[in-house]
Amino acid sequence: DVKVTQSSRYLVKRTGEKVFLECVQDMDHENMFWYRQDPGLGLRLIYFSYDVKMKEKGDIPEGYSVSREKKERFSLILESASTNQTSMYLCASSSNIWGLAGGHYEQYFGPGTRLTVT
Amino acid sequence: AQSVTQPDIHITVSEGASLELRCNYSYGATPYLFWYVQSPGQGLQLLLKYFSGDTLVQGIKGFEAEFKRSQSSFNLRKPSVHWSDAAEYFCAVGENTGTASKLTFGTGTRLQVTL
């Protein structure tokens, strides 16, 4: 089974701190994603990466950056945390294998990190 | 760009009753469609997916969904709901950006099951 793990389930940080959220997948997937989830807004894509050191902005990248130095690891960085970044953060991964039509869209999710910024 | 609409924010059903969760999408070509479930405090788990072929797809936990191109819908159904089905359900449509295949999610429907 695909396993996606996130470094923390719960995190409390102070305004202005630099925050690192780590995500690791064990299925050799090419693609990795960071979402934030807020009530009534669903999942919104922050950044994604399609290869080591390659990244693209999602729908809400402001205030965030990412790093992917190894294929299995994708980090989300809040350079200076603010209270409006209090949220649930979900990491996901997917394969680029096109053997099964559409199969490359299927994403596997980690358990999430609930971040509170005070 | 794609979009997904889940018109019901919250639904309550009695245990044993049937369930239908609505999902409408906006996409120009043949869509790749997904339903995910999120139990409290957990990540998302894939329930089922539609890529092509038979428009009625079966998933895990007794769920099924029907793709209707004419209505741009992909509604999720279950004939008899169990208390353990209480969760949040997300519909999603796939988009290929050229560099990666992304998913666009709806805002979710929270299901409450009464005993």
Contact state of A50 with B32 under an 8 Å Cβ cutoff: no
Query: What angle is formed at CA A105 by the lines to CA A103 and CA A110, rounded to 5 degrees?
Result: 110
| Chain B: closest CA distance from residue A46 (Å) | 12
B105 reaches A (C-beta below 8 A): yes
State the average pLDDT over residues A90-113. 80
> Residue A102: is its pLDDT beyond 60?
no
Residues of A engaging B, defined by a Cβ cutoff of 8 Å? 4, 30-31, 33, 40-43, 45, 48, 50, 54, 56, 58, 90, 92, 94, 96, 100-112
Between CA A68 and CA A55 the distance in angstroms is 8
Q: Is A55 helix (H, G, I), strand (E, B) or coil?
A: strand
Q: Is B26 helix (H, G, I), strand (E, B) or coil?
A: strand
**Res A101: pLDDT:** 55
**Res A106: pLDDT:** 84
**Res A97: pLDDT:** 65
Q: In this predicted model, what pLDDT tens digit does every residue of B6-23 receive, in sequence order?
A: 999 999 999 999 999 999
**Res B6: pLDDT:** 97
Between CA B84 and CA B58 the distance in angstroms is 19
> Residue B98: is its pLDDT beyond 80?
no
Q: Are A22 and A6 in contact (CB under 8 A)?
A: yes
Confidence of residue B1 (pLDDT cuts 50, 70, 90): confident
Q: Are A88 and A56 in contact (CB under 8 A)?
A: no
Q: Is A85 helix (H, G, I), strand (E, B) or coil?
A: helix
Return the structure tokens found at A1: 């089974």
Q: Please report which residue ranges of chain A form alpha helices under DSSP H.
A: none
State the average pLDDT over residues A86-107. 79
> Residue B31: is its pLDDT beyond 90?
no
Mutate to test the interface with A, among B21, B33, B54, B102 (most CBs of A within 10 A): B102
Q: Are A90 and B44 in contact (CB under 8 A)?
A: yes
State the average pLDDT over residues B97-113. 88
Between CA B11 and CA B83 the distance in angstroms is 13
**Res B7: pLDDT:** 96
Return the structure tokens found at B94: 């796939």
B47-51 contacts, C-beta under 8 A, 24 or more apart: B47/B76, B47/B89, B48/B76, B49/A102, B49/A105, B49/A106, B50/B74, B51/A100, B51/A101, B51/A102, B51/A103
Q: In this predicted model, what pLDDT tens digit does every residue of A37-82 receive, in sequence order?
A: 999 899 999 999 988 999 999 999 999 999 999 999 999 999 999 9
**Res A98: pLDDT:** 56
Between CA A24 and CA A7 the distance in angstroms is 8
Q: Position of tokens 């807004």? A: A41
User: What value does the mean pLDDT of chain A take?
Assistant: 92
Confidence of residue A5 (pLDDT cuts 50, 70, 90): very high
**Res A77: pLDDT:** 98
